[in-house]
Amino acid sequence: YDFNSKNPTPKIEKSADLVDTEDLLFIDSTSSSRPSKPTVSSLSSAAHSYQSSPNPSLHQRTTVKSNISLSKQETAIKIPEISLSLFENILSQKKSANDAFKLGQYELALEKYSACIDQLPECSSFPENMHPYASLLLNNRAACYMKSGDLKSCISDSLLSSKISICFLTPSAQKNAFTLHSETLDFLNLHTKSLFRISSAYENLEKYQLALDSFNKLSALPIDQQSRHLVSEGISRCENKVKTYVPEKAKTSSNFDSLLSNVSNTGNTSSSDTVEDQNLVELQERIQLKVQNWVSSNKDNLRALLASIHKICPSIKQIHMSSLINPKQVKLAYMKVVAVLHPDKHKPDEPLELSILKSHLFTILSGAWSSFAA
């Protein structure tokens, strides 16, 4: 997010899984001094709402500062102050988490982001008693979950981050920023990133209607042209899937049912297109049968799946059952495997059959991981 641009609108990362490693969500406080002791920060409903204009400028946002004088007509939301020493400790741990993420150490980053969240004081005015600063940390932790293939946890953290951000974006609050000591959170940017991760995660889980709903929410936000193009592509993909794919009854059912396109022979369809579509369906059916035979009765048995995945995907090195004894070993092996299978890792010149296979395996392992971690 570029706060120096002439038309500052939230920009969505193409991969939709980057953390704010360089603290781009922050800008310097307009005040050069800090309070000498903790005070209570407040929100009022007197500022201009970003929703009242079709293309609001974030330069016009109102930040939340200490010692705000509120009139009786204004409704204040009490936010517990964080001491400077505690906040600096949180920032230090967050930086370590960001560094770990950039090195691909997602498990370590997860632990550090979680530690930061645990240190925040509770705030009863916000969802799940979360302090507003948790919105940023939850967003970053969601990025770790997405990278490690735990899409359900990614969605959970992103949804909670979004709920916190919305508290600053609704007409009743009419605030889209929050100042903590010398730093400011931009909740419109956070809300945008949360929605994009939710959309991507649902799409990877083949829950296309939910992904479409999230993409549509994104399209209503004031985002830049590049981001709007990505959102439009997402909407188009999901609309096609919703129209042409037969939804699964349940992801946890005993049988693995792949989503196949309905091929209809219309008068406007050329014979070459029909043959191509038919070939694609046959390819998907072959992969479905192959995966179904591999899964067998081990759909929710993560250890068994990891120990045998090399049989169906030879590019993955064999994992011996002896190295899957304790939960930590299982988690480490799982993260290594999904790093190979993750949709973001598919190469442009990769054979179509391999790409489809990896997508199916990624979905299966994600479901098995959810059962294992429950």
Instruction: Tell me what pLDDT residue 287 has.
Output: 84
Instruction: Tell me what pLDDT residue 77 has.
Output: 65
Cα(1)–Cα(11) distance, integer angstroms: 6
Cα(51)–Cα(220) distance, integer angstroms: 10
First to last CA, the chain: 36
pLDDT tens digits along 246-282: 544 434 333 333 333 333 343 444 444 455 556 777 7
Cα(325)–Cα(321) distance, integer angstroms: 7
Q: CA 273 from chain center: how many Å?
A: 36
Please state the domain extents for the chain: 50-241, 256-263+270-373
Structure tokens that stand for 19 in this block: 């953390």
- For β-strands 183-186 and 177-180, DSSP reports them as antiparallel
**Residue 31 clears pLDDT 70, i.e. is over it:** no
Write down the number of H helices and E strands in the chain.
11, 2
Phi, psi of 113 (to 5 degrees): -65, -40
DSSP symbol at 121? P
360 burial via Cβ count (<10 Å: 0-12, 13-18, 19+): buried
**Residue 62 clears pLDDT 80, i.e. is over it:** no
How many residues belong to the chain? 374
**Residue 333 clears pLDDT 80, i.e. is over it:** yes
CATH assignment, 256-263+270-373: 1.10.287.110
Instruction: Tell me what pLDDT residue 95 has.
Output: 93
> What is the DSSP annotation of 227-240?
HHHHHHHHHHHHHH
Q: Which CATH number fits domain 50-241: 3.40.190.10, 3.90.550.10, 2.170.150.70, 1.25.40.10?
A: 1.25.40.10
**Residue 301 clears pLDDT 60, i.e. is over it:** yes
pLDDT tens digits along 137-175: 999 999 998 888 888 889 999 999 999 888 887 655 445
pLDDT tens digits along 303-329: 889 988 888 888 888 888 888 888 888
Instruction: Tell me what pLDDT residue 357 has.
Output: 85
Structure tokens that stand for 74 in this block: 């204004």
Residue 105: C-alpha distances to residues 8, 71, 101, 112, 327 (Å): 32, 49, 5, 11, 17
